[in-house]
Amino acid sequence: MNASPAEQRILLDIADLDARLRQADHARSNPPQAARVQELLAQRQQQSQELATRLGARDDIRAELARVESDVAVVDARAERDAQLLQTVTSPKDAQGLEHELASLARRKSDLEDAQLELMERLEEADAQVAAQEALIALTNDEGARLSAEGKDAVAAATAQFEAATRDRAAVAATVPAELLALYERLAARSAGAALLRRQTCEGCRMVLSGTDLQAIRQAPDDAVLTCPECGCILVRTEESGL
């Protein structure tokens, strides 16, 4: 195939645009924040599980405290009833029995109040643990929200770059002969498509060409479309080629 040196040089612009398209497409599909956002999602799930555990423990303490408070109320009611009966009873034996029961109720209440105090202290600690875990989740949520917003901005920017490069490529490709463009696109499926031959090196694969290959290139007409013997991309010759 033959094409003017100027037409072949245009392929370098297309190859550059194709590289920009690949980079932009990768950037919009894989924003830099994505990996950390996924880590935060997994972290938040673990933190939420821990919060559920702490909430369950706090609920258990609250339930136990409510039971003790209910028992205290029962003891108080019983003691009040016995105290009233003691004021009206006439039998010494009955009075002695009521006094004994009142003493037992006082001990029972003392024990319940000790348990109540201990449970209140445990509840205070449980509340603190729940609050600390909720604060930790809030921090994770804040970081996740910030990174998600940044990721959306990055995707939007990469999408804009992709769209701009797509328009530019279409405009540049329209200036290249159809046959040459078709060859480039076939080769671009497995190589750089087109690359500059600079200082006897193919910039598509960064390989220095052998003396035999360089001699064959020197002998080829300027409008001959040549390919790299190493990677197969179109070699674009300029004054920098070192021929």
Write out pLDDT tens, residues 62-99: 999 999 999 999 999 999 998 888 888 878 887 888 88
**151-190: per-residue pLDDT in tens?**
999 999 999 999 999 999 999 999 999 999 999 999 999 9
Per-residue model confidence as pLDDT tens digits over 119-145: 999 999 999 999 999 999 999 999 999
Q: State residue 82's pLDDT score.
A: 85
Are the CB atoms for 229 and 209 separated by under 8 Å? yes
The 10s digit of each residue's pLDDT in 188-207 is 999 999 999 999 999 999 99
What domains are there in the chain, each with its CATH number?
Answer: 5-26+174-237 (no CATH), 30-153 (1.10.287.1700)
Confidence of residue 32 (pLDDT cuts 50, 70, 90): very high
Q: 200 — phi, psi (to 5°)?
A: 65, 20
DSSP-H helix ranges across 30-91: 34-88
Residues 6+ apart with CB under 8 A from 193: 11, 14, 15, 18, 184, 185, 187, 204, 233, 234
CA distance 174 to 161: 20
Predicted TM-score of the model (pTM): 0.69
